[in-house]
Amino acid sequence: MTNALIKKLGNFSKLSKEDEKAIQRLCTNIVRKKAGEDLIREGERPGSVHLLLDGWAFRYKHLPDGGRQILAYLIPGDICDMHIFVLRQMDHSIGLLNDAVIGLLSEDAMLELLSRHPAVERALWWATLVDEAVLREWLANIGRRDPYRRIAHLLCEMWVRMSTIGLVSGQDSFSLPLTQAELGDTVGLTPVTVNRVIQELRSDDLIILKEKRLTVRDVSRLMKVSEFDVSYLHLGNADITRAE
């Protein structure tokens, strides 16, 4: 079940067979969580590193007025809280968008992996830098793009990220377990505006969104209208492919 992590890290650093076996040995403690649960809450310090093996999660902060800002989406192969090596406590929460399978990795096991496998260490730090690049792009997206391009850009990003771990079908289709309210909390729009933009994207024959599954009808055109430049994802070794 660690294939997504191996695929993700392989985008950033060439992994040996020994590296891959070491990653596979990490996941000895696997738990299942339900949609709507929090993996970690703001203020906590996790006892283990959480590896998302299946399902989607999201980073978020609650605001004093009761609002919520979604800060990042986590998909299979993402490590949710490398922060525990540095921070005393989490400065944000991580929730689950759908039912998920989580690998709980001990801090000692992670440190041993990093010390014994430099290619894995390099890939994990590269992945952390990409997370920061994504956050910068999201800030630009919210601050400078109109609602249509804002949502189209986010959909392009998720298509690329899911492609790199083999979770996009031959019809450019993938699971997108997001409500319109959650999309709004991500890109700073009301659910009404999100609904209008989704209808426009459908009318423009760019997407099909049905039963929490997104099909991109024309990837190149969606990237063009949203001004999407994949370079900020720094996918050095990535071959963007679709699962059959």
Domain containing residue 66: CATH number: 2.60.120.10
For CA atoms 163, 211, 76, 193, give the dihedral sign. Answer: positive
Per-residue pLDDT tens for 28-47?
889 999 999 999 999 888 88
Q: Is the pLDDT of residue 99 over 90?
A: yes
Domain containing residue 225: CATH number: 1.10.10.10
Q: Is residue 85 included in any domain, yes or no?
A: yes
In whole angstroms, give the CA distance from residue 122 to residue 11: 11
Per-residue pLDDT tens for 121-149?
999 999 999 999 999 999 999 999 999 99
Q: Is residue 102 included in any domain, yes or no?
A: yes
Per-residue pLDDT tens for 204-237?
999 999 999 999 999 999 999 999 999 999 987 6
Q: Is residue 139 included in any domain, yes or no?
A: no
115 shares its domain with 12: yes
In whole angstroms, give the CA distance from residue 94 to residue 73: 9
If you average pLDDT over every residue of the chain, what do you get? 91
Q: Report how many domains make up the chain.
A: 2
68 shares its domain with 181: no
The pTM for the full model equals: 0.92
122 shares its domain with 13: yes
Domain coverage including residue 92: 3-126
